[in-house]
Every structure is written in structure tokens, then in C-alpha cells.
Amino acid sequence: MTGVAALARKDWREFIRDRRLLVMTLLVLLLALAAVVTAYARVAAYEADRIATEQRDRVTWESQGERNPHSAAHFATWALRPLTALAVLEPGVTPYAGSAIWMEAHYRNGARARPVDDAAIAFDVGTFSVTWVLQTLVPLLLFVVAASLVARERERGTLRLLLVGGADARGLLQGKLVSLGGIALLLASPVLVAGVLAALLAGPADLLRLALWTLAYLVFLGIVAGFAVSVSALARTVSGAMLVLVGLWCVAVLMAPRAGAALAQVTAPTPSAEVFWSDMRNDMTQVVNPFSDDSFREAVLALYGVDTVEALPVDFGGLALHESEERSAVVFDRHFDALAATYARQRAAMRWASLVSPLPALQNVSTAIAGTDGRSQLAFQDQAEAHRQRMVAALNRDLIDHGAQADGEYLAGPALWRETEAFVYRPPALADTARSIGPDLLILGLWALAAALAVQLSGRRLARRIL
């Protein structure tokens, strides 16, 4: 351990004298600040608009005056998805997913108002964010630094002197790994610190989620450092190590996630919006209208023990409307559940990309912990639909209970609108999130183990080559 520390101190003295490290650190710091400020402004502006819109929508709902409860169900309200504080760190799918759902009677609408539609500029490699810096830029800089860690010692001839003098090859690589790990912390710390502070300022943040999110990226950077040191140890020259590491970066960071997405689309293709909604509309035409369904009318009359609709103690129209909602909901749930199953198969297929890179697994973990993954988006849509069904059912129930006694058309008053609950999104619990990313956590653990083994094996091979 003393030798490892001594070697790490020697490398650090060289790094400090090398101005490239200072330039890299400043570059990452500036990009981190830009990413954090941009993300914080985006999340803060979105949340301010969401809160103001919800307040206006509620005022409009409660001020609609007297009207038929079912007409009010068609008047409807909006469900708006809030952004978590961790969205400052990890935007995930939120820029590309709808953030608002119109909750109306008889129909389940999809999410609309995608933030990306209002964006003036978007990076081709992904949304500019804290995670973009950590996933794309920092690994590249670590590879650039690591290329010369061991290969430079070989070119100078000092590697043979160290090994002949009794230094252990594996201990030497461990020292190099400690050095590179220090550089990784130096580069990543400004990003992590700035991002965590911004998340805490953005709103109530789950500290456990923040800690787990940070730990996941530290593990990822450890994996990057382990393989980078191993490549530098096996390469004969610095230029050779640089060529291999840059190639690995292109495959692991640029190609693997896109290849995984392409594989997912091939194995579980997502239907186009036109096909999805067209199929749903076609199935809706097969739903029998309760108003013209004799069997439904006879069942209602038998339930209340009367012979005619006029003799019912409740409003038949309200009962028929409620039955129509329940029949339609079966169709909606079937189509949206099938779509969710397609997305689940795509996530499973994308994990195959983790065979060549730990990045897809990290991205799944990062977005899930931040609450900005596809599962969280589906949870928002499902909760909005459940709220829509409850809201419409409550309005129809009021019509059922009071419509038959009304002299003419029954009109409900403001008291009913005030009793109607507003939509509140509840993100998935951390325990549920952990279960959903269990395979990804296992994959990251296996990659960490593979990186450690690579360092050990490259140390043995290094000793045989030199001696």
C-alpha cells in the first residue's frame, strides 16, 4: 500500500505540472455550471407555469356555474405532470414526453405538450445536462489522460526499472488506478456538487435518491478508470493506447445506447400514433351504447324492481352514462396496457447493449432514480386516467342520485365542483423503482467486477511482457 501511495503521489505531481489537466478541469467546470444553470432555469420555469396553469384551471372549473354534471365532465380539467427536483440532474424522457393530459368524459387522451417542441436548440447526442457531461465528456477526458499512464512509463523505460527493482506489476496498476480515480473525482466533483446543490434549490429533494444517484455515477466512473488503466498497461505506445481508448469511447458512449434503441425498436416496434389511435377508435365502435342496449335497461329495471324507466328512483340517463364510461374504459385500458407492455419489452431488449457498454444500464438507473424514465411517464398517464375515471364517476353519480327528482334538466351547483378533487401526481416509491432497475444494478455490478479483474489480469500480463 505504501508503494501504491508513492506511485500515486508521483503521478499527481506530474499531473499538476501538466496544464492539460487544469484545462480539462476548467472545461468540465464551465460546462457543469452551464448545464446546471440551464437545467435549473428550465425546471423552475416549467414548474412556475405548471402551478399557475393548475391554479387557473381550478378557478375555471369551480366558476363554471350551474350545469348538468355530465356536461361538466365534458368541460373537463387538465392533469399536469410535475418535475422532480432531480430533473435538474437527469432530464430523462421528460423533454420528449407529453406533460399535460386533458381529462374528459368518454375518452382517454394521450399526453401532449412536449417540452422539446418549444426548444430552440438540442444537442444531437442528447439533452445538454449534468448527465451529458458525466456520461459523455468526463469518460472521454479520462481516456485521454489514462492513455499515457502506463504506456508512457514503458516508452521512457522506467516501467522496466520499476519492475526489475522489485515493484509488483499489479500494485503498480493499482497505483495508476488510484491516480486516475483521483482525476475522475477532480473532474466529476464540480459537476456532482453543482448538480446536487441545484437539485436541493429546485425543490424538496429525496436525499436518499440523491445519494444513490451520485453513487451510481461514481461506480460508472470507477468502471471507466479500471478499463482505461488496463488498456494503457497492455498498449505498447501512448498513441496506440489513445487509439484503442478513443475507439472504446465511440463504441461504449456513442454507439451502444443507439444500437440498443435500434434493437429495441426492431424486436418490439412501437405502433405509430396514427395506427394506435385508429385501432382504438375502431374498437370503440364495437362498444354497445347502453342507451340502446335492451339487456342493460332490463337489468336496471330488475335491480330496482320497477317496470318502466320513468318509475326508477334514480336517473336512468346517469346510469347509462356511467355504464358507457366503464365499457369504454375496458377498451382504453387494453390498448394502453398493450403499449406499456411494448415499452417493457423494449427496455428488456435495450439491456443487451450492456454487453458492450455499462452506459445503457447506468442510463436506466439514472433516469429511474430521478423519476424521469419511461416508467414514471407511464405512471403519470395511468394516474391521470384513474383520476379521470373517478372524477367522471363522481359527476355521473350525482346525476344518478338527483336527476330523477329534478323538474326538467338537472343542474348541479358550485358546491359539487368544489368537492371534485384536483389531480395530484404521486411518483413511484423508491422501493418500486429499485425493483424495476434490479437487472441494471446487477449489470453495473458485473461491469465493476469485470473492470477490477481487467486490472488484475493486465498486471500479470504486464509483468510477463517486461520481465
Q: What is the pLDDT of residues 250-267, one digit of tens each?
A: 999 999 999 999 999 999
Give residue 244's pLDDT band: very low, low, confident or very high (50, 70, 90). very high
How far, CA to CA in Å, does 308 sit from each of 168, 319, 406?
Answer: 96, 14, 18
* Residues of the domain holding 395: 2-466
Tell me if 399 sits within 8 A of 410, measured CB to CB.
yes
Q: Taking Cα atoms as reference points, which of 211, 245, 250 lies closest to residue 226? A: 245
Give residue 20's pLDDT band: very low, low, confident or very high (50, 70, 90). confident
Render pLDDT for 383-408 as a digit per residue (tens, 0 to 9). Answer: 999 999 999 999 999 999 998 888 78
Q: What is the average pLDDT value for the chain, to the nearest integer?
A: 87
Amino acid at 342: T
Alpha-carbon span 405 to 291, nearest angstrom: 20
**Contacts by residues 375-379 (CB-CB < 8 Å, ≥ 24 positions apart):** 375/428, 375/436, 376/92, 376/427, 376/428, 377/81, 377/93, 377/94, 377/97, 377/111, 378/340, 378/343, 379/427, 379/428
Average pLDDT over residues 166-174: 68
Render pLDDT for 289-335 as a digit per residue (tens, 0 to 9). Answer: 999 999 999 999 999 999 999 899 999 999 999 999 999 999 999 99
Tell me if 229 sits within 8 A of 173, measured CB to CB.
yes
Tell me if 334 sits within 8 A of 59, measured CB to CB.
no
Determine how β-strand 107-108 pairs with β-strand 77-80: unpaired
User: What pLDDT score does 464 carry?
Assistant: 66
Percent of the chain surpassing pLDDT 90: 59
User: What pLDDT score does 382 carry?
Assistant: 95
User: What pLDDT score does 6 carry?
Assistant: 61
Average pLDDT over residues 33-41: 88
Total domains in the fold of the chain: 1
Burial class (CB in 10 A: 0-12, 13-18, 19+), 55: exposed
User: What pLDDT score does 149 carry?
Assistant: 80
User: What pLDDT score does 465 carry?
Assistant: 59
Q: Has residue 435 got a pLDDT over 70?
A: yes
Alpha-carbon span 434 to 206, nearest angstrom: 14
Q: Has residue 201 got a pLDDT over 70?
A: yes
User: What pLDDT score does 461 carry?
Assistant: 80
Render pLDDT for 347-366 as a digit per residue (tens, 0 to 9). Answer: 999 999 999 999 999 999 99
Render pLDDT for 80-106 as a digit per residue (tens, 0 to 9). Answer: 999 988 999 999 988 888 899 999 999
Percent of the chain surpassing pLDDT 70: 88
List, in sequence order, every residue forming a beta bridge with 104; answer none if it has no partner: 107
Spatial CB neighbours of 249, under 8 Å, sequence gap ≥ 6: 139, 140, 143
Give residue 121's pLDDT band: very low, low, confident or very high (50, 70, 90). very low
Give residue 127's pLDDT band: very low, low, confident or very high (50, 70, 90). low
Spatial CB neighbours of 399, under 8 Å, sequence gap ≥ 6: 68, 69, 70, 315, 317, 318, 321, 410, 412
User: What pLDDT score does 166 carry?
Assistant: 55
Most confident of 171-185, 202-216, 388-402: 388-402
Whether the full predicted model's pTM is greater than 0.75, yes or no, is: yes
Average pLDDT over residues 20-48: 86
Q: Has residue 109 got a pLDDT over 80?
A: yes
Average pLDDT over residues 108-131: 66
Alpha-helical (H) ranges within 203-234 are 207-234
User: What pLDDT score does 24 carry?
Assistant: 83
User: What pLDDT score does 243 carry?
Assistant: 93
Q: Has residue 442 got a pLDDT over 70?
A: yes
User: What pLDDT score does 173 carry?
Assistant: 77
Average pLDDT over residues 453-457: 90
> H or E stretch including 93?
none
Give residue 197's pLDDT band: very low, low, confident or very high (50, 70, 90). confident
User: What pLDDT score does 384 carry?
Assistant: 96
